[in-house]
Amino acid sequence: MPPMTTASVAIDLGSSVITTVVGERHENGQLYILGIGQSPSTGIEAGQITHVSRAAGAIRQSLDQAEASSARQILSVGVAVSGAHLQSANNRGAVALPSFGEPIRDTDLIRAIDSGRAVTLNASSTLLHAIPRFYVVDSERRSFDPRGQHGQRLDVSMHLVTASQSAIQNAAHCVQNAGVDVELIAAKPVVAAERAVRSDEKEFGALVIGLDAGTTTLTAFEDGAISHTSALQIGASHIARDLSIGLHCSNDEARLIMQTHGQAIPQLVPDTAPEIELRGFSPVAGNRQTVTPTFVAEIIYARVCEIITMINNRVTEEQLQSAVAGGIILTGAGAMLGGIDLLFSKAMESPARVAATGELYGLSDKLNRPDALGAVGMLDWMLDSGDALQTNQAGTQRRHAEGTGSMLSSLTSGVSSLARVFSPNS
């Protein structure tokens, strides 16, 4: 099997399904999917590794499928991680510009970014993302890209996402045990939201809610830039567990019922909807049991309402009302429940929609779903990072030849996407 060349590989370490995507970006900007692999997630709960060998085996199974479908050997991957350990904060950095007569350059942006990401973390946390939100020149002119402007002082507003150091190390260890190197690790809520949100939605405000299996994540955009990232330790798996208890069936059957008959609003279930037969019971006469779709919807509705209450509490705590007012975008497995957008819209008094993965080409059939945004977003993020890295390395070499020092290396440990370093609103 020939080694990979220009393509990138992304893995979403989901608590329900592990998804591996192989893809590349064509010159016209189209995202082309070359291969995909999916395996049931074992050894991962609520976004964190609970059993190393089982998780590594599930990752290897997903990688094998992706290698077979893409006809390429996978040597390194980017990993999207989630979990309630993700936290965020916004910080400000500022630097004096060396000369009022010279325009702002890449090196000035890098110095400002280094200043904005210089925060003290506790020993158990690691900085996963340091994303420039916007810049301000001379404390008055706000800009997403101030290069070429003149001034005496450059400020930058940074969005910093931190994660549990042990959780990140465990995820990397499992991927390495599966036989591949880790090229990049990113927060799933960030990369999924960047793929799901349009530029106009960022400008007016948007709250991306990831209804994943093990967690519910929140990613807010305000005034054109990301402003908040966090996660709640509750997700779609809790809905399935409620169904398992309420219907007296196995967890696997409960998940299947949720996927095939899941409706978030009981009133939207048609009166003519046929009853659902529980497969866990024998079809022998007298032992056949069924349940009405309305009863299933009532169980789902109760848990979703609880999740919405927790989200509203987080919105109030973090003062994200302006993001909510702009609109709600739903991703993850829970976003595939019938009527889920209507329920969120009514409960949070804001327009809501279910996210789409956008235009994909190639082997994209299995990825046109809101629960695929983690893998697709991670792939998108990696390709943008690679393009920006090549572009800025070329510029750095050119400036070095002219006698200008390079500071690009100071970014690589803390900024997950160089594409967002010089154009955070791209």
> Can you give the CATH number for the domain in which 276 is found?
3.90.640.10
Alpha-carbon distances of 209 from 36, 160, 185, 190, 217, rounded to whole Å: 25, 19, 21, 11, 6
Domain membership flag for residue 257: yes
Question: What pLDDT, on the 0 to 100 scale, is given for residue 283?
Answer: 53
Return the structure tokens found at 338.
């019938």
List b or e across 277-291, with b for residues whose CB sees 16 or more CB atoms inside 10 angstroms. ebeeeeeeeeeebeb
Give long-range contacts, CB 8 A cutoff, 24+ apart: 242-245.
242/299, 242/300, 242/302, 242/303, 243/296, 243/299, 243/300
Domain boundary among 264, 282, 303: 303
Domain membership flag for residue 378: no
Tell me the pairing of strands 328-331 and 352-354: parallel
Domain boundary among 303, 318, 352: 303
CB-CB contact of 358 with 195 (8 Å) = yes
Domain membership flag for residue 252: yes
Question: What pLDDT, on the 0 to 100 scale, is given for residue 281?
Answer: 58
Domain membership flag for residue 317: no
The amino acid present at 21, given as its one-letter code, is V
Most distant pair of Cα atoms in the chain: their distance: 90
Domain membership flag for residue 130: yes
Q: Looking at residue 97, which CATH number applies to its domain?
A: 3.30.1490.110
Range of the domain at 91: 87-162+409-422
Per DSSP (E only), the strands in 271-417 are 276-277, 290-291, 328-331, 352-354, 360-362
Q: Which has the closest alpha carbon to 352: 208, 226, 252, 163?
A: 208
Directed axis angle between helix 251-261 and helix 236-247, to 10°? 110
Question: What pLDDT, on the 0 to 100 scale, is given for residue 386?
Answer: 63
**Number of folded domains that form the chain:** 2
Successive 10-residue mean pLDDT values, the chain, 426 residues: 65 94 90 95 90 95 96 95 94 89 90 91 91 91 88 94 94 96 95 94 95 96 95 95 94 93 95 88 62 96 97 97 96 96 97 94 92 95 70 41 32 36 37
Question: What pLDDT, on the 0 to 100 scale, is given for residue 121?
Answer: 87
Domain membership flag for residue 369: no
Domain membership flag for residue 33: no
Q: Please state, in angstroms and rounded to a whole number, the distance separating the CA atoms of residues 338 and 266.
A: 10
Question: What pLDDT, on the 0 to 100 scale, is given for residue 36?
Answer: 97
Q: pTM of the entire structure?
A: 0.87
Domain boundary among 280, 303, 326: 303
Domain membership flag for residue 135: yes
For residue 192, count other CB atoms closer than 10 A to its CB: 35
